[in-house]
Chains A and B, each alone.
Chain A
Amino acid sequence: MNRRQLLGLGLGGSSSLFLGGCALNGLSAAVGDATQPLNERIEALLQGQGKVPEFRPDKVEPAALLVNSFNGVPRLDPERYRLQVKGLVGRPLSLDLGALAALPQHTCVMRHVCVEGWAAVVAWSGVRLADVLRLAQLSPLGGYLLIDSADSYFESWDLASALHPQTLLATHMNGAPLPAANGAPVRLTAPIKLGYKQSKWVTGLRVTAQLGERRGTWEDQGYEWFAGL
């Protein structure tokens, strides 16, 4: 944080006393830039390698799960669907749904928390993202995972979160095949990240050493990148 930002913070804090906030909105991004790096580092430290507790399956709240999409609902043909795995991997993959179904299946009953403030307990089932990445012989040089979706939604994750045992490429929701609006045929889910990190209609995974200019559809507009829970 440089002196200018610090001054901005101080002025921002004290003048909101008089201005009721409205004149300070232009400083929001500067406040975020000054404080997010530290917050994200603490978040990453807090996040363990192990599993977080799950809910009982009868606790699911199907009605509470709202649908958000920035670009409509793409309909993917399950027959022609392929998941591409590329980048810093020893063995690039192109997996169809049969290949995903052949991998060990896991279920995670978790609280899905949206950045807007609502939350819903959902049972997601599918394969571990870690299993897919290991199948592709993930390189030790990899640091980040870029996630492409059919609706051109874009995300990037740190590899530690991607390899978490409860991070799934889900094909089922609450025991039934994933509905189109929720990301069919394959979406990302994890109890350790906010909803906007959990891309729907996932079609491509790319492992990279560094983050590029584009960090995510919402992140590039100003939302936090790590977004851990």
Chain B
Amino acid sequence: MAHTSARQPHHPLWTRAFHGFNLVVLLVMAASGLQIYNANPVFGGRGGAVVPELFTLGGWLAGGRDWHFGFMGLYALNLGLWLALLVQRRRRRLGELGDLTALKASASAPRRRLSAHRIVYTLMLIVLAFSLISGLAMYKPAQFWWLTSLFALAEPLGVTSWQMLRVSHLATIPAMVLLVLAHVVLSWRVGGLRLLRAMTL
């Protein structure tokens, strides 16, 4: 009995389900997005460097669009519901300004790690919500012109709103790669395998 009592209780099923499904759908969105990228690279245009086929999904532009727009609904629904439930029921688990203070001022290393981790996974949720907004602005630039025009802020610098949109939508991928790495390392240091088990099956 002694060793089982050391087992961490599971996180609620719903957050584990949203967490896992988000990861799967996100991979589909990223790989099919990179396929779309290759039809006309954001950097360099025609003749610009393309992403290796290994990281793409769809086989060609139309196939990439099949996956990207086929899964966008699932992705948005999953993320939206998860966010709503997290804010409502698990707000104390999300990062907040107090975490920034703790990061700077706390003398306890575990406390600082916990704060850093809360900030990292909360930032991921924000980045993902942003990918949805920038994606929508490019999917429907005529109907959602008000959304698209939000990205005109760099126009005085000669960056069109369209280019701004493409760059910021694409930036989801490098931003998420860095954040996921940090998230995995931090969650490992915070709770190791037990925490990973508690968050998965």
A positions within 8 Å CB-CB of B: 9, 12-14, 16-17, 20-22, 24-26, 28-29, 31-32, 34-36, 38-39, 43, 46-48, 52-53, 61, 66, 110-111, 113-119, 191-192, 218, 221-224, 228-229
Q: Are B31 and A31 in contact (CB under 8 A)?
A: no
Residues of A within 8 A of B66 (CB): 28-29, 31-32, 35-36, 222
Bound complex: CA A117 to CA B162 (Å): 9
Count class of interface residues, chain B: 35 or more
Write the nearest CB–CB distance from A114 to chain B, whole angstroms: 7
Q: B116 in the interface, Cβ–Cβ < 8 Å?
A: no
Q: Are A16 and B63 in contact (CB under 8 A)?
A: no
- CB-based nearest A residue for B24: A13
Q: Are B39 and A117 in contact (CB under 8 A)?
A: yes
Interface SS of B by simple majority:
helix
Write the nearest CB–CB distance from B22 to chain A, whole angstroms: 11
Q: Given the known A-B contacts A14-B24, A66-B46, A222-B63, are A20 and B31 also in contact in the complex, defined by CB atoms under 8 Å?
A: yes
Bound complex: CA A47 to CA B70 (Å): 20
Q: Are A24 and B57 in contact (CB under 8 A)?
A: yes
Write the nearest CB–CB distance from A155 to chain B, whole angstroms: 16
Bound complex: CA A34 to CA B54 (Å): 25
Q: Are A28 and B39 in contact (CB under 8 A)?
A: no
Q: B121 in the interface, Cβ–Cβ < 8 Å?
A: no
Residues of A within 8 A of B160 (CB): 61
